[in-house]
């Protein structure tokens, strides 16, 4: 009964989105020549956040190309509004101005496929039947390492698909079915915000696991019985971890995925050196800059860490389940391509942590892998993205 009710409300919600989009398209000719909509670039992430490639690209446009008529899409209650000033042009997520911008924007640029739309899922499917005008640019949320069917050409009609690494671009271009020239290795915009100086020890260890799609809308009772929850709790409450953190005067910051928000109250730790960071109230990139060591499972944030040549541990306690239920294996193999040890047990995590806390440098074999993976290691990522987008309007192609 609960699922039927959810489906019913989803249908009503999708109908509301469609009607608003239809009305915006109908009146768009009246607004087309207004200054705020002329040659518009609509920049976004998911409409509710601003800490990713969309934000860094928008800041680049404001700083280096103020002549571009750019606006940023963000909900009125988003905590990330703190990153903007009165001089910035924000469009309120799901407002009628948003629908008008969606219809009229010449460039629709987002870190998520269709992230500039009022609903990513609905408008991605709508775009299959009613192709949206304007050039759609996918800045990406992170570097792709697994096979992701919704990023294939038959599910996502894109003019530019940005990749953050050369092996990624090669794999996506070869396997996702996009026309030649759409997939480009340009570098992720947010990498321009990462430091190049030698890291100063902070005593902070960051634990940032990704989400499990099979747990979406799960009850709390089902969530706490999941392998996902149990694996996280085992690490957070490890006695040997607590002893190591205390002896080394370190903190472990647990930064759960935003999808975990409804279940935050289920997490706790007996270790005083463990701190939970609530999604929406943290600056993710600053955490990635400040932390000495990253522990993750499969989250692509480890690429940001590898870009900085810092220690990484892959804690993959549910590998078979993850491959079966979430993402099939892609071109990236953690044990042969990864930038740190792959472990499945908490004692192994603690053992590797202890060694890394006594070394400020990434192990040489892993550092060599980063050099091969990131051919671009500079602060020109936003510029390359901008040049490629401008070239779309000039009808120019380029090599990957």
HEC letters along 51-62: CCHHHHHHHHHH
Does residue 5 have a pLDDT over 60?
A: no
Least confident range of 2-11, 13-22, 251-260, 374-383: 2-11
Cα separation of 18 and 35, whole Å?
A: 26
Does this chain's domain 9-193+379-393 share its CATH topology with 204-373?
yes
CATH fourth-level superfamily of 204-373: CDP-glycerol glycerophosphotransferase, C-terminal domain (3.40.50.12580)
pLDDT of residue 53: 97
Q: What is the mean pLDDT of the chain?
A: 94
pLDDT tens, residue by residue, 166-195: 999 999 999 999 999 999 999 999 999 999
Helices marked H in the chain: 2-31, 53-64, 96-104, 120-129, 166-175, 220-223, 227-236, 239-247, 284-290, 302-307, 319-325, 334-337, 346-356, 364-373, 381-393
Q: What is the pLDDT confidence band of residue 2, given thresholds at 50, 70 and 90? A: low
Q: What is the pLDDT confidence band of residue 223, given thresholds at 50, 70 and 90? A: very high
Tokens linked to 296:
């993750």
**Where do we find the tokens 């030698």?**
198
The more confident residue out of 11 and 368 is 368
pLDDT of residue 42: 98
pLDDT of residue 11: 86
Tokens linked to 220:
């709390």
pLDDT of residue 4: 62
pLDDT of residue 136: 98
Does residue 398 have a pLDDT over 80?
A: no
Does residue 377 have a pLDDT over 70?
A: yes
pLDDT of residue 40: 98
Average pLDDT over residues 303-326: 94
Does residue 280 have a pLDDT over 90?
A: no
Coil, strand or helix at 308? coil
Does residue 17 have a pLDDT over 80?
A: yes
Q: What is the pLDDT confidence band of residue 143, given thresholds at 50, 70 and 90? A: very high
Residue 392 CA, distance from chain mean position: 24
Does residue 100 have a pLDDT over 90?
A: yes
Q: Taking the domains of the chain in order of start, what are their residue ranges?
A: 9-193+379-393, 204-373
Average pLDDT over residues 355-362: 88
Fold of 9-193+379-393: Rossmann fold (3.40.50)
Which residue pairs, CB below 8 angstroms and at least 24 apart, start in 300-303?
300/141, 300/142, 300/143, 300/144, 300/145, 300/210, 301/142, 301/208, 302/338, 302/339, 302/340, 303/142, 303/143, 303/164, 303/165
Does residue 291 have a pLDDT over 50?
A: yes
Q: Residues near 394 by Cβ (< 8 Å), separated by ≥ 6?
A: none
pTM of the model: 0.89
| % residues pLDDT > 70 (the chain) | 97
Does residue 106 have a pLDDT over 60?
A: yes
Please state the φ and ψ torsions of residue 394, each to the nearest 5 degrees. -100, 5
**Where do we find the tokens 């971890």?**
241
pLDDT of residue 197: 79
Q: What is the pLDDT confidence band of residue 152, given thresholds at 50, 70 and 90? A: very high
Instruction: Name which of 290, 301, 328 is nearest 141 in CA terms.
Output: 301
Q: What is the pLDDT confidence band of residue 400, given thresholds at 50, 70 and 90? A: very low
Q: Residues near 173 by Cβ (< 8 Å), separated by ≥ 6?
A: 180, 183, 400
Average pLDDT over residues 219-243: 97
Average pLDDT over residues 253-260: 95
């Amino acid at each position: 009964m609960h699922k039927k009710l959810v489906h019913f409300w989803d249908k009503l919600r999708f109908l509301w989105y469609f009607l608003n989009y239809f009305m915006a398209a109908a009146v768009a000719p009246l607004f087309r020549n207004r200054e705020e909509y002329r040659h518009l670039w609509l920049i976004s992430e998911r409409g509710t956040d601003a800490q990713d490639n969309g934000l860094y690209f928008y800041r680049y446009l404001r700083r280096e190309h103020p002549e571009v008529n750019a606006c940023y899409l963000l909900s009125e209650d988003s905590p990330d509004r703190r990153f903007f000033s009165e001089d910035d042009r924000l469009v309120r997520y799901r407002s009628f101005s948003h629908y008008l911008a969606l219809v009229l924007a010449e460039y629709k640029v987002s870190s998520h496929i269709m992230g500039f739309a009022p609903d990513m899922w609905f408008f991605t499917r709508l775009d299959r039947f009613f192709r949206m005008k304007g050039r759609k640019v996918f800045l990406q949320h992170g570097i792709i390492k697994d096979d992701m069917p919704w990023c294939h050409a038959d599910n996502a009609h894109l003019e530019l698909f940005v990749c953050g690494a050369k092996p990624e671009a090669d794999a996506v271009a070869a396997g996702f079915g996009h026309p030649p020239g759409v997939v480009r290795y340009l570098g992720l915009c947010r990498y321009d915000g990462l430091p190049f100086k030698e890291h100063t020890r902070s005593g902070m260890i960051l634990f940032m696991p990704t989400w499990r799609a099979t747990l979406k809308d799960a009850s709390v009772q089902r969530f706490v019985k999941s392998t996902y929850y149990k694996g996280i709790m085992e690490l957070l409450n490890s006695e040997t971890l607590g002893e190591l953190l205390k002896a080394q005067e370190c903190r472990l910051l647990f930064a759960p995925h935003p999808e975990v928000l409804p279940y935050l109250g289920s997490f706790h730790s007996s270790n005083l050196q463990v701190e939970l960071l609530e999604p929406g109230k943290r600056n993710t990139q600053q955490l990635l800059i400040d932390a000495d060591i990253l522990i993750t499972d499969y989250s692509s944030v480890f690429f940001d860490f590898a870009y900085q040549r810092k220690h990484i541990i892959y804690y993959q306690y549910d590998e078979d389940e993850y491959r079966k239920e979430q993402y099939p294996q892609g071109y990236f193999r953690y044990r042969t391509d990864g930038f740190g040890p792959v472990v499945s047990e908490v004692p192994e995590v603690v053992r590797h942590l202890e060694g890394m806390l006594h070394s400020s440098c990434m192990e040489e074999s892993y550092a060599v892998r980063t050099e091969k993976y990131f051919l671009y290691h500079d602060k020109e990522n936003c510029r390359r993205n901008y040049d490629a987008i401008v070239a779309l309007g000039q009808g120019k192609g380029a090599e990957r």
